[in-house]
Every structure is written in structure tokens, then in C-alpha cells.
């Protein structure tokens, strides 16, 4: 059984049909159905913990992202479909099985940069997955400002808006 959102393998042992499970990998809330499959449970708006420094809301086909570092606030506007596709591509990073060759440790961080077109120009999203380090997503705005957030929290914050 795997998470229908991110594909992470889940162990449903101890759960019964109707129970809720959390996917630890992506934060999705899932309900175990009587046929053993999982459905994604949409949480009512406002129940998610807000991510400090990043707010987002949808407007038609577009999503507005508001970044803040405590003093400055910046907004960019992008197509929901573009941002969703970017997050999907970024989710693929770091999910390959670790290399098994112990005498050749892979010390290179696993990273991927994708670009999303916004109203102000291209925005770069860079996810860096380095063994033992926090899993971060870096946004470089068209203005040149850089904001960094825990990757999973960004996904959790943005996914309900983009779907």
C-alpha cells in the first residue's frame, strides 16, 4: 500500500477501515477504506498550520504567493498548473534508493531546480536533499530575493490550493 499523493509506502497494520492515517512523507491525511485502499481526506480550510513567511491563495487559474522575511513582503502570481507541475518534479528528488556502494559514498547533495513563470518573470524553485540535512526548498523570486522553507511544509501548504 502506498500513499496516493506521494507514493510513499505505508504500513496500515493496526488500522481499521474508516481510520485516518497521516503520510509522514508528504503530510497527506488518508482514510483507510474497507477494500484496503486509501483515499485522500481534504482538511477543512484553516486546520493546517500556517507556514511562517509564505502565504498563498488561489484566484481562478492563478495562485498568489506572498513571501515575507519579517520586514519586506513580496507577491508573485503564477498559474496553478505550472506550480503544481514544478512541485511534482521536485518531489521526485531524493526518492531514488541510496547508492549501495559503501566505499563510494555519495557526498553530492541531491538537488533540482525548476522554473515557474510568474507575473514578474521566472521564479526558481530549488530543492536540496542532502543526507542528514534539512530538506529545504529555496524560492528565488524574479526580484532576486531568496526565501527558504522546509520542503514538506511548502507542499502541505500549497497542495490544497493548487488541486
Nearer residue to Zn ion within complex by CB, 123 or 162: 162
Q: How far is residue 136's CA from residue 156's CA, in Å, rounded to a whole number?
A: 13
Q: How far is the CB of 9 from Zn ion (least distance, A)?
A: 10
Angle, CA 22 vertex, CA 9 and CA 2 arms, to 5°: 20
The answer to whether residue 24 forms part of the interface with Zn ion (CB under 5 A) is no
Q: How far is the CB of 26 from Zn ion (least distance, A)?
A: 3
- Do 32 and 15 touch, CB atoms closer than 8 A? yes
The answer to whether residue 22 forms part of the interface with Zn ion (CB under 5 A) is no
The answer to whether residue 40 forms part of the interface with Zn ion (CB under 5 A) is no
Nearer residue to Zn ion within complex by CB, 3 or 141: 3
Nearest to 154 by CA among 73, 63, 72: 63
The answer to whether residue 78 forms part of the interface with Zn ion (CB under 5 A) is no
Stretch binding Zn ion (CB under 5 A), from 28-36, 42-50, 80-88, 148-156: 28-36
Stretch binding Zn ion (CB under 5 A), from 15-23, 88-96, 141-149, 153-161: 15-23
- Do 116 and 102 touch, CB atoms closer than 8 A? no
* Other beta carbons within 10 Å of 45: 8
Q: How far is residue 78's CA from residue 116's CA, in Å, rounded to a whole number?
A: 7
Nearer residue to Zn ion within complex by CB, 5 or 76: 5
Q: How far is CA 36 from the centre of its chain?
A: 26
The answer to whether residue 84 forms part of the interface with Zn ion (CB under 5 A) is no
Residues making contact with Zn ion (CB under 5 A): 3, 5-6, 8, 23, 25-26, 28
Amino acid at each position: 500500500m502506498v500513499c496516493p499523493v506521494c507514493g510513499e509506502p505505508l504500513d496500515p497494520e493496526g488500522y481499521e477501515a474508516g481510520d485516518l492515517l497521516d503520510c509522514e512523507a508528504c503530510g497527506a491525511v488518508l482514510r483507510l477504506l474497507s477494500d484496503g485502499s486509501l483515499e485522500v481526506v481534504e482538511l477543512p480550510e484553516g486546520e493546517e498550520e500556517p507556514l511562517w513567511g509564505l502565504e498563498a491563495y488561489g484566484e481562478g487559474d492563478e495562485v498568489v504567493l506572498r513571501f515575507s522575511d519579517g520586514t519586506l513582503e513580496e507577491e508573485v502570481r503564477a498559474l496553478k498548473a505550472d506550480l503544481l507541475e514544478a512541485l511534482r518534479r521536485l518531489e521526485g528528488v531524493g526518492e531514488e534508493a541510496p547508492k549501495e556502494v559503501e566505499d563510494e559514498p555519495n557526498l553530492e547533495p541531491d538537488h533540482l531546480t525548476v522554473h515557474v513563470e510568474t507575473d514578474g518573470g521566472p521564479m526558481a524553485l530549488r530543492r536540496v536533499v542532502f543526507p542528514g540535512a534539512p530538506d529545504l526548498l529555496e524560492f528565488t523570486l524574479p526580484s532576486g530575493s531568496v526565501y527558504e522553507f522546509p520542503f514538506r511544509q511548502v507542499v502541505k501548504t500549497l497542495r490544497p490550493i493548487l488541486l
